[in-house]
Amino acid sequence: MSIISKDISKAVTILNNEELVAIPTETVYGLAGNIYSEKAIKAIFETKKRPRFNPLIVHIPSKDHLNEIVESIPEKAKLLAETFWPGPITLVLKKQSIIPDIITAGKDTVAVRVPNHPTTIELLNQLEFPLAAPSANPFNRISPTTAEHVEGYFKNKIKMVLDGGACKKGIESTIIGFENDEPIIYRLGSTPIEAIEAVIGKIGIKNKKDIAPEAPGMLERHYAPKTKTILTDNLNKAIKAHTGKRIGVLAYSDIIDDDVIDFKIVLSEDNNLQEAASKLYDALHQLDQQNLDIIIAEQLPDYGLGKSINDRLLRATKS
């Protein structure tokens, strides 16, 4: 029997019972639990097999709830919240003492955002607590952008996937922390750097850290298929180098006709970076199911969302 359902009241009951529900957001599906329930939060880490040193993102229904979660809000953080929430920006700020250390991996900061998905906003408004919700996939595997992806991962381990359709953005939120009140990007994501800099000016990037990361999503290997994956700026050359293997190709926009390719997905024939981002993880899921020897992914233009997509593809190639 499927665990996928559109019943928000059922999700409320499960979450009130300190159990987990996978929830839709505009970025990816999240594996959600009550932030104040040690039982629920431990279950998130155990179900995902996620290391405890990797903090979780707290989801709130509106920016009006931010003061319940954090102690202080730098001016540039206020600007970002006013401009981009609800939406795919996560802010890492000094936490209130009420926020459990298990959520923040013992740090004095907490990652928080307002998701831009009507189903999950409605759910959050019916709860007495915020939700911690890392992506609803086993640790290091490809993030889920449909309810079916989540069910494929966890059908025997959670009670419900709240169905909100396919995720429109398709890659995780951009995470921004503050060091001496100055913003810094801890994870590239669905909000491009250019859009952020248009609001708050120049911003630095500290995008990868395997030991005691300041924020979720900073580990070097992440978002990875089981199939060996490589990233290239020259598809034809890479394909020739792997002749004789079962080859899958993930191309940006060019349709390559080559008899040695066993399975191919084009992310956007119109060179549309947002379309490419929205299709990225679903394409990797499809390629990973084709019994291939290798997935060859094409590097995208290194600006806007292309920079974020390249980041995810690069992490998928780390062994």
Pick the CATH number of 4-205 from 3.40.50.720, 3.40.50.300, 3.90.870.10, 3.30.420.40: 3.90.870.10
- Choice between 256 and 53, residue whose per-residue pLDDT is larger: 53
Task: Return the C-alpha torsion angle 96, 65, 214, 45, nearest 10.
Answer: 90
- Choice between 256 and 165, residue whose per-residue pLDDT is larger: 165
Nearest in space to 246 (alpha carbons), one of 228, 260, 231: 260
Q: What is the pLDDT of residue 181?
A: 86
Tokens of 211: 């030991």
* Band of pLDDT at residue 208, cut at 50, 70 and 90: low
pTM above 0.75, yes or no: yes
Q: What is the pLDDT of residue 259?
A: 84
d(CA 235, CA 145): 26
**Domain edges within the chain:** 4-205, 229-316
Question: To which residue do tokens 């922390």 refer?
Answer: 177
Q: Which residues of 10-29 are buried (b: 16+ CB within 10 A; e: fewer)?
A: ebbebbeeebbbbbbbbbbb
Nearest in space to 132 (alpha carbons), one of 176, 84, 99, 159: 99
pLDDT digits (tens, 9 = 90+) for 260-274: 899 999 999 999 999
CATH architecture of the region 229-316 = 3-Layer(aba) Sandwich (3.40)
pLDDT digits (tens, 9 = 90+) for 214-237: 656 556 656 789 999 999 999 999
